[in-house]
Amino acid sequence: MTTHRLTEDVAVNYAPDGSIVGIEVLEASRYLVKHKQPQGQATSGTQPQGHLTVRRHPGILAMPMVHYHLTAVIWKEGNRYVSKCPELGVASYGSTPEQARAALGEAVSLYLMNAKRLGLLADVDPVLRAETRYTTPLEIALA
């Protein structure tokens, strides 16, 4: 088995054939997670000791990730920023443009996961796979 350290806190364990067999969070005290207590050590205070090992569940890493490139439009309304993904009609908001964008990313992810779970992802697939998008200001005059 080979171990590759991704960050200061996370390492990935590989089998000889290159498949991932485990992911380790090396500094579990930084995370609010259940942890393994090393044999023979008592827990002192509230800080967890040892490390957490996450074992690979069959099939979890077998599905390839699909990346979609969508549009986020953000504008200020009152004291908050509204964000919208025009391709899907999903909207959110935040106190700053960055928070509005992050909230929109989460909302779009949830929308797509739900669409997939309900078997409706094919309905939005053409807009998700469109290679070219044009975004331009549009001025309308009303009398």
Confidence of residue 141 (pLDDT cuts 50, 70, 90): very high
> What is the mean pLDDT of the segment spanning 109-118?
92
18 confidence band (pLDDT: 50, 70, 90): confident
SS3 (DSSP) at 104: helix
For residue 102 the two structure tokens come to 């992050």
42-99 confidence digits (pLDDT tens): 444 443 444 444 444 444 444 566 788 899 999 999 999 999 999 999 999 999 999 9
Gap between the Cα atoms of 85 and 26, Å rounded: 37
* Greater pLDDT, 38 or 106: 106
Q: How many CB atoms lie within 10 A of CB 35?
A: 16
Report strand pairing: 73-77 vs 20-25.
Answer: unpaired
Q: Classify the C-alpha dihedral 54-10-16-64 as positive or negative.
A: positive
Q: Which amino acid is at 97?
A: P
**Domains of the chain, residue spans:** 2-55, 73-129
